[in-house]
Amino acid sequence: MLRGEKDHVLPRFSDPRLLPISEKVVAGQRLSFDDGIALYRSHDLLGVGYLANIVRERLSGNVTYYNVNRHINPTDVCVAACKLCAFGKQKRNPTSYTMSLEQVWHTAGVGYSEQVSEFHIVGGLHPQLGIEWFERMFRGLKERFPSVHLKALTMVEVGYLARREKLSVRDTLLRLRDSGVDSLPGGGAEIFADRVRRIICDHKIDGDEWIETARTAHEIGLQSNATMLYGHIETEEDRVDHLLRLRALQDDTGGFQTYIPLAFHPQNTPMRHLPATSGFQDIRAVAVSRLLLDNFPHIKAYWIMMTPKIAQVAQRFGADDIDGTVVEEKIYHDAGATTPQALRRDQIERLIRKAGREPTERDTLYRPVRRDDTTLAIAV
């Protein structure tokens, strides 16, 4: 055993490249691009995880966060036709759907209880749905569910709406904010590298536009999450580049709350010939992100994508969040996910406890939620 900082007895790494990285981690120093590559290439998963766990416990102690949320996908009609996606459909496809506003409001209310603290709302890029439709949707949700936080629309949907309406991104975001959007989810980031983006999601905004849209959201007071889609045709360099671009923006704005690594699910997509990621890759994606994204307060192991079991193990490899109850997830299930579509609070809490962590229910902004039997109170 090697002695590190006073509380850390470092393991003897089977990968010698981890030793200089461990010294930086213990000293709280920033890791470089090359460190990121070494971490992605290392087979010493326990070593990488050990280091990620140091950072995780430094930031969140023994707590694992979750929330009680509901996903709503108002439409799967999408003009983008991304190769990575099994969810989006052309409008003429008879199996495509678009909810009316009444259907969105009704869906939000199905199974609703005072316990739901967040609606996570994303959908396809629908050519006929303009910003006024979205404004009415958000206003209607706020009227009906005033205490529920609206985490809605990815940077990609915002960029598409802005272009469609011939508005600036700032004005689009201001209108969305003023109609009820409280924060933005992290989707649509995929991989920022142009070469990969051109193949997997050619018609989406590019990486720079994603970053600038997030910057603008943060500037007007909307916090957001960030994601990276890995396990398709990207290289390790692309992944590290992606994470460091997120880190640089976070240095500027401080507006990101959580990073969520998303494993590519190939089934039912035009890239279905690719193999699915392994548990090893998924755990490592969590750990490396915790180490590189030193300025992100939280790393989420999204149980829908990783399976509840891997998301549980990830709580010892850098993650401090497991997402929420979800209810009716479509994007991953259309791409072949075999995970359940919802977990109850007690199931999530059990997963967390069995990982030796302390479950803490949070709202979207990571304020602890205190409950009595029926009411929801935010304890700040």
| Residues in contact with ligand V47 by the rule CB under 6 A | 84-87, 154, 185-188, 190, 225, 227, 229, 260, 262, 264-265, 269, 302, 323, 331, 335
The CB-nearest residue to ligand V47 is 187
CB of 262 to ligand V47, least distance (A): 5
CB of 331 to ligand V47, least distance (A): 5
Cβ count near 33 (within 10 Å):
13
CB of 340 to ligand V47, least distance (A): 15
35/229 Cα distance (integer angstroms)? 20
34/25 Cα distance (integer angstroms)? 14
Distances from the Cα of 324 to the Cα of 76, 196, 302, angstroms: 22, 30, 8
Between 56 and 298, name the residue whose CB sits nearer to ligand V47: 298
Between 95 and 374, name the residue whose CB sits nearer to ligand V47: 95
Between 21 and 243, name the residue whose CB sits nearer to ligand V47: 243
- Please answer whether residues 266 and 274 qualify as being in contact, where contact means their C-beta atoms are separated by less than 8 angstroms: yes
Between 35 and 329, name the residue whose CB sits nearer to ligand V47: 329
End-to-end CA distance of the chain: 41
Between 201 and 291, name the residue whose CB sits nearer to ligand V47: 201
Between 213 and 227, name the residue whose CB sits nearer to ligand V47: 227
- Please answer whether residues 263 and 277 qualify as being in contact, where contact means their C-beta atoms are separated by less than 8 angstroms: yes
- Please answer whether residues 173 and 215 qualify as being in contact, where contact means their C-beta atoms are separated by less than 8 angstroms: no
* Dihedral sign from CA coordinates of 119, 160, 135, 334: negative
Between 159 and 185, name the residue whose CB sits nearer to ligand V47: 185
What burial class does residue 70 get, using C-beta atoms within 10 Å of its C-beta: 0-12 exposed, 13-18 middle, 19+ buried?
A: buried
Rounded CA Rg of the chain: 20
178/132 Cα distance (integer angstroms)? 12
CB of 151 to ligand V47, least distance (A): 7
266/274 Cα distance (integer angstroms)? 6
